[in-house]
Chain A
Amino acid sequence: MPGSITSDIVKPPSPPRRGGFGGGGEGGGSDNRGSSRRASMTGLMVLLAATTMAFAAFTSAFVVRRGISNDWIGLPMPRVVWANTAILLASSLMLELARRALRSGRRSAFNRFWTAGTALGVLFLIGQAFAWRQLSAAGIFVATNPSSSFFYLLTAAHALHILGGLTALVYVDVQALSLQLGPGKRTAVDVSALFWHFVDGLWLFLMFLFLVWG
């Protein structure tokens, strides 16, 4: 290519591409699914990066506010959060078992594990509501102390992510139980499970934050 100063690196041929998550008209061909799956995975990673940044901002506010003030009183952690942590971990484990079952073609096992994982997710939220009730019963509200402000704020922000994740888990569950979870929907399974593991890890991080600095 004489005279060109731009690069001549050619990417390996890739299939024609079309957007994922529906809409925008018909697909671009039989290999549509591959590009849609890739884009969905990229989209998920990018979403997780944004969530990480938001929680990093909350965390830095937490650490700075804890460091500069002399009005911080350690929060008595409601005991139920320990049970909630175990429930959330179990929920992630169920989803992993479900994915493993799906990979080896055991659809009914997938349905059982996935439903169990989803139910444990709902149970976690109920448990978190209990934690809030225990705190408020003890007279600890959002404005009582910066430690309680951060506890309510971070658990609420986390619960919102859990709600988003649960929506995806329920969607997959409904598809699976109504026998509509075809190979095209494996992406939904993987994306929602990965997101769930992320919010699970996020919760462990928040617990660490509460215990070390709270």
Chain B
Amino acid sequence: MSSPVVIHAHHAPQGFIRKYVFSLDHKVIGIQYYFLALFSVLVGVSLSLLMRFHMIHPEAKVAWFGTLWPTAAQGGIMTPELYLSLMTMHGTIMVFFVLTTAPQGGFGNYFLPLQIGAEDMAFPVLNMLSFWTTLVALGVMMSAFFVQGGAPLAGWTGYPPLSGIGPLAGPGEGLGQTLWIVSIAIFCGASLMGAINFIATIIDLRCQGMSLMRLPLTCWTWFVTAILGLLGFAVLLAAGVLLILDRSAGTSFFIPEGLMVSDQILNHKGGSPLLWQHLFWFFGHPEVYIAILPGMGVTSQLLSTFARKAVFGYRAMVYAILSIGFLGFLVWGHHMFMSGMSPYSAMAFSVLTMAIGVPSAIKTFNWIGTLWGGKIRFTTAMMFALGFVSLFVTGGLSGIFLGQPALDLYFHDTYFVVGHFHMIMGVAAIFGMFAGTFYWFPKMFGRMMNETLGKIHFYVTFLGVYAIFTPMHYLGIAGNPRRYSDFTNFDFLGKLLPVHHFMTQAAYGTAAIQILFFINLFWSMKYGKKAPMNPWDATTLEWTVPSPPPFDNFGGHHPVVHHGPYEYSVPGAPRDFIMQTDPPFDDPSSPNASH
């Protein structure tokens, strides 16, 4: 272990409200974000199960559907509009309140200051505000379910004209869609506050000796994610303001002239729906990396820790993270190949998209290089990190197809796309979160999670997600369109129904096994084995403080870093890991000095 630390130099705030509710402590805020995401994922997954059920039983009468949605599911039969609103809310909740929130707001908040040797984030008040604003955004989003007309149905991308013309466009396009935009705008504000905090913290609050090239890769990914969020959410916020003006102030930014909806000619004129697409995807593509980059950081951290080897090519990993972040802003057009853009623009976007394959491949090969010849410890956390690599490769490979304009013309709006983005953005990122949960739970809650339950959960989930999302690629090649709520009326789709049945069963099974995760999570918080300070023999700074850490992290002691973050199995060292705070080799008091 590193040099002992003096604990409790500062006193934590007293009282329940200041300590757990309106807390300024980054650790409490991190846990708040984590539980916000956990609640959101429950809602999001439930919605997806309802969708999967409806796809294979479109005519089924379910009494409680009628109770829940008296208008949209009259007599217990789900309408196509209700299906679309479930789809919209599933996508929105998962992308914004789960994939954006847990890896950055949750783990990032909790572990960034600890890993860089700071006592807190740079602006604790802003940090608290950021969480509570996110919660308000979630509340506003959820309230869309309960207003007249119900939740919106324009998809998580909120494309106008559908999203811009009000109740004429269908149920959910009235107040529901307005609440959706307002919620996204509030969320943008919260994310901007978070991004400011992350960037200032990493730049200015690193402890002595923590040079940029000694930062754990998790910190690098949180840093680049914050920059992406900063630049992306600012643009989405601007686009949201324009959209809400089109809806409520009669402007025509996105609504074209002569549009006839529900037998009425609209007053709007001259706007361009493509303008929204450009603004949205300028945010939307970096958003993919906002979701996945922290997972990459966690995976790098875990592969190194559990293979007992340094990360292969640390600098290359850092440059790959930076390049992915940079290139992520130049490829938004590949979401719009079908918009009638010039083939030359499409080719430029396609080439840039392919270019992202280079840093992505660097990361993948370096992960494999890290594992090569390592003394691998197959903990549950490690299994999920390995699962992340697998899913990232699978999802990434299908992206190469979609990045070709010629192929995208065919695949666009088919299940191929659904399979692709669920693999890479959804499931891979969620595997990153599971990996992070199993790895950091001992530090966060002072107890260990159950490894047997964890492994059962891993194997079933891993096989389950492949069973759900691999067939989608086949469906897409077979021409199965996405966003359809019912395939029974089309001959060529009818033949694909058995595949949908299989996927729905797989979804039920995969969702059911998550109960095991929740049991493990909550049971371990109370009854898990007590966690030591450094249960994984890891090297980074969070493992130099008690589990859970004291209020001010390092107990008034200011850590000094002498080593890189991944010094495992160093020849000549007495242990197979060197903590970042261990004295240098030439210091006779060092446990690593050769005597």
Contacts and interface: CB of A to CB of B under 8 A. Distances in A.
B571 interface: yes
Contact of A54 (B235, B552, B563): B235
B196 A24 contact: no
A133 to B, nearest CB: 18
B420 interface: no
Given A23-B125, A65-B275, A71-B269, A11 B208 contact: yes
B251 A146 contact: yes
Interface stretch (B135-143, B209-217, B388-396): B209-217
Contacts of B242: 58, 61, 153
B356 interface: no
A49 B456 CA distance: 46
B570 interface: yes
B373 to A, nearest CB: 14
Contacts of B239: 57, 61
Interface in A2-22: 2-11, 13-14, 16-22
Interface class of chain B by DSSP: loop
A21 B552 CA distance: 17
B564 A6 contact: yes
A5 B310 contact: yes
**B: contact size bracket:** 35 or more
A23 B24 contact: yes
A42 B199 contact: yes
Interface in A38-62: 38-40, 42-43, 46-47, 49-58, 60-61
A35 interface: yes
A1 B279 contact: no
Among A20, A24, A54, A58, residue most surrounded by chain B Cβ atoms (within 10 Å): A24
Given A10-B211, A69-B270, A42 B124 contact: no
Interface in B367-426: none
Contact of B123 (A13, A39, A71): A39
Interface stretch (B114-122, B333-341, B477-485): B114-122
A9 B235 CA distance: 37
A28 interface: yes
B222 interface: no
Contact of A11 (B123, B209, B571): B209
A57 B119 CA distance: 36
B207 A149 contact: no
Contacts of B10: 25-26
B435 interface: no
Contact of B238 (A4, A61, A70): A61
Nearest to A25: B10
A28 B117 CA distance: 12
A142 B251 contact: yes
A22 B584 CA distance: 35
A25 B552 contact: yes
Contacts of B12: 25
A175 to B, nearest CB: 18
B249 A143 contact: yes
Contacts of B119: 17-19, 24-25, 28
A9 B444 CA distance: 31
Contacts of A2: 570-572, 585
A9 B271 CA distance: 54
B63 interface: no
Contacts of B13: 25
Given A2-B572, A18-B120, A46-B200, A9 B213 contact: yes
Contacts of B275: 61, 64-65
A157 B239 CA distance: 13
A99 B62 CA distance: 70
B204 A23 contact: no
Interface in A161-214: none
Interface string A127-169: 0000000000000001100100100010001000000000000
Given A42-B203, A143-B250, A57 B564 contact: no
B468 interface: no
B201 interface: yes
A149 B128 CA distance: 35
Contact of B234 (A24, A51, A149): A51
Contacts of A50: 192, 195-196, 230-231, 233-234
Contacts of B584: 1
B460 to A, nearest CB: 37
B582 to A, nearest CB: 11
A93 B564 CA distance: 48
B107 interface: no
A181 B156 CA distance: 48
B566 interface: yes
B192 to A, nearest CB: 5
Interface string B557-578: 0100001111101111100000
Interface string B230-255: 11011101110110010001111100
A25 B204 contact: no
Contacts of A26: 10
B123 A19 contact: yes
Contacts of B282: 57
A56 B310 CA distance: 42
B526 interface: no
Given A25-B12, A55-B238, 17 more contacts: A1-B570, A4-B570, A7-B211, A7-B214, A8-B564, A19-B118, A19-B124, A21-B124, A22-B124, A24-B26, A39-B203, A52-B234, A53-B231, A53-B234, A56-B235, A57-B234, A153-B245
Interface of B: 10-13, 24-26, 118-126, 128, 192, 195-197, 199-201, 203-211, 213-214, 230-231, 233-235, 237-239, 241-242, 245, 249-253, 257, 269-272, 275, 278-279, 282, 310, 313-315, 551-552, 556, 558, 563-567, 569-573, 584-585
8 contacts: A6-B310, A6-B567, A14-B206, A22-B125, A53-B235, A55-B238, A143-B249, A143-B251
Interface of A: 1-11, 13-14, 16-26, 28, 35, 38-40, 42-43, 46-47, 49-58, 60-61, 64-65, 68-72, 142-143, 146, 149, 153, 157
The 9 A-B residue pairs with the shortest CB-CB distance in the complex, in nearest-first order = A6-B564, A7-B213, A24-B124, A143-B250, A57-B238, A53-B234, A69-B270, A3-B570, A16-B558
